[in-house]
Structure 1
């Protein structure tokens, strides 16, 4: 028996094929962009600095209203800061383009942090109301942290349009995540610790994150010669003003959606669930942004942008239908679906801004897009509030974001975006 077994040919056991790593292949575009040296470090630092963007206004409102007992004063102070940001933002971005991210963004951030700390002290020690306006206006020098990260990606991936598309998609999802978590963290700090806790934490995160971000000099875009950078203002570039108008209409969607959703939840006795409804919209947008980044862009950017805006306009019809014909549960589903349309439009639009802005003006061009968004948010908030009070039911207020989306589509179709 032993001789028989020894005489048998030795064959290797059958090798089973390794399981296909579909998940790793699916995430390959993101793994590829983060394989570049230094990208993970500057992304982590930038996310730390970007999180306060969703905390500052909410923290200021809770802090001022809690100490002064006036939401009107809190709203006026934050509105002043928004207007100041719209004016100072492009100026700050121009300095960053001219002198570099580390040299210009850090002092601008330090000034903004001093403004937040001044606001905190003025509220805590009962300073006159005018000091609140002056202090919060000083925070307008806060750099466009998302734009700083996008500028680094644009420099590192300047020869790879598909990778830039993936990076822009990731940055859009990061924006949504920060504006989703920021208000929650601010509310938690201000209500469980003390009213000034949210502002103090936001200022600390902003300064720490920006210092860490600026320290990553290996991925910082080089400064373009001043004669080239000053050649032409981004506002005079062909195709950019219509893009900014479309960004403004998109901002009106965000601003009106927030106000209308708060009013709808209050009217249905679920005021505490208003934040969850808005979070579903942001979560849908973040998920869509990440999935959109996995796709390889095809065709002209203008045509893709119009298609994304058209999809956004179509899906924005769902919330008014759900609010009037359904209930809160149907509205939650509709808001999630509607949110999934905004990220692809924003990603494609920001890609067009990058492609049509000179390298020496890139931060300024992207900050102008953010400024247009902020202006649209302010207009949308005012219009949404008027609609809630004037129309017969809060559900009809969702016609405002739907109309803003339709206006965005009309703007993108009429002009060469």
Structure 2
């Protein structure tokens, strides 16, 4: 049982706790602009986009620093910059808030990279899949709980105070990470000196890029579906049930993640992406909240497994000394996919309603899933064709 390991338990618990304020902070920024600063939704969207882009840009270079200098030396500047920025940002006008959020984003504590790298370090290839599945489930739970808590708190107290408290919770989470200093490499976990950082050219190739594209497509599909749920429920005249339908969708993802973690074999990320696209199609034919919830439950089952498989597959492609940067690129791809999916869904919904939104999301998953599987398969066959004659000639010699 993967939870029998104290190291895995501690990392998963830490990851679950720090991600709740992370997701709460995203929605609080928008609420603060609209409610407290009396800005427009456009301004709120620009702020969210700038903060998201800066966090995405920080992923690869912060991950590279983790590989070269370790956790404590990497996140100490993040803690200091975050403490200064978020002590000031809730009390200033829009433009200074935008600048401070951008700076804080560039020095963001790499929560997702640290947690995933620590989980990989604390596991073997045999129990890594269930551990990563639990990690993906914890992300789903935090994504469901964080925004709800943020909105509830903002309805009771000033967004200034709530934003300050939530962002300082993330600063304190960074301090806790610094104190705990979980091993990021299996050698450190075993008490041995860690190997030096691995050059990027050793792993940054077609297979890794294809994996990042697949992960980005999966998040694009999910972001597009999330926005399309809103459109569908408005079209049904049942906006009051939106939270319930989204919760059913999220529950499907939790179930799928747990089931995938219990499997004794991995499944290709690209196969799961194509399957996620296929099971998204029935949502386009929903005729009311109940049918949308049922089809959403089915579609949700493939959400967490697709992301889990991409991280597991990445850990097999990238040597241990390069995984910090690799996970940073992977996280940046996920962030980019989130923005692409929302924009794609908006265009599709304006053109053909919620059915077009779900259809566009499904087509993206199916097309890229099958296309990437074909591309990687052809490359693997060519590699084997080259290696086989070489192996035969060595035997003959």
Give the TM-score band, short-chain normalised. 0.7 to 0.9
Larger radius of gyration: 1
Alignment correspondent of 1:304: 268
Verify: 1:98 aligned to 2:68, yes or no.
yes
Q: Secondary structure at the match of 1:76?
A: helix
- Assess if the C-alpha contact under 8 Å between 1:117 and 1:200 holds in 2: yes
- 39 and 271 in structure 1: CA distance in 2 versus 1, 3 angstrom threshold: same
1:178 to 131, 142, 145: 142
Shift of 1:181: 0.6
Verify: 1:139 aligned to 2:104, yes or no.
yes
Q: Structure 1, unaligned stretches of length 5 or more?
A: 1-28
Alignment correspondent of 1:41: 10
1:64 to 29, 33, 37: 33
User: Counterparts in 2 of 1:99-114, with a 5 A limit?
Assistant: 99-114=69-84
Shift of 1:196: 2.6
- Assess if the C-alpha contact under 8 Å between 2:137 and 2:253 holds in 1: yes
Q: Write out per-residue CA displacement over residues 320-362 of structure 1, whole angstroms, 9 at most, x where no aligned residue.
A: 122xxx2111001111211111211111111111111121221
Q: Secondary structure at the match of 1:296?
A: coil
Q: Which has a greater percent of helix?
A: 2
2:346 to 370, 376, 385: 385
Alignment correspondent of 2:197: 229
Alignment correspondent of 1:118: 88
Shift of 1:218: 5.9
- 389 and 410 in structure 1: CA distance in 2 versus 1, 3 angstrom threshold: same
Q: Write out per-residue CA displacement over residues 159-197 of structure 1, whole angstroms, 9 at most, x where no aligned residue.
A: x31211111111010111111111111111111222234
Alignment correspondent of 1:150: 116
1:276 to 222, 244, 247: 244
TM-score relative to the length of structure 2: 0.86
Provide the C-alpha distance between the structure 1 equivalents of 2:202 and 2:149, rounded to a whole number of angstroms.
36
Verify: 1:395 aligned to 2:345, yes or no.
no
Verify: 1:242 aligned to 2:242, yes or no.
no
The CA RMSD over aligned residues, in Å, is: 2.2
- 272 and 62 in structure 1: CA distance in 2 versus 1, 3 angstrom threshold: farther
Shift of 1:258: 2.0
Shift of 1:242: 0.6
Q: Write out per-residue CA displacement over residues 62-84 of structure 1, whole angstroms, 9 at most, x where no aligned residue.
A: 11111224111101111111111
Alignment correspondent of 1:9: none
1:314 to 263, 267, 278: 278
- 206 and 218 in structure 1: CA distance in 2 versus 1, 3 angstrom threshold: closer
Provide the C-alpha distance between the structure 2 equivalents of 1:272 and 1:102, rounded to a whole number of angstroms.
46
Provide the C-alpha distance between the structure 1 equivalents of 2:85 and 2:375, rounded to a whole number of angstroms.
40
Alignment correspondent of 2:319: 358
- Assess if the C-alpha contact under 8 Å between 2:223 and 2:342 holds in 1: yes
- Assess if the C-alpha contact under 8 Å between 1:252 and 1:376 holds in 2: yes
Q: Secondary structure at the match of 1:161?
A: coil
Aligned residues: 369
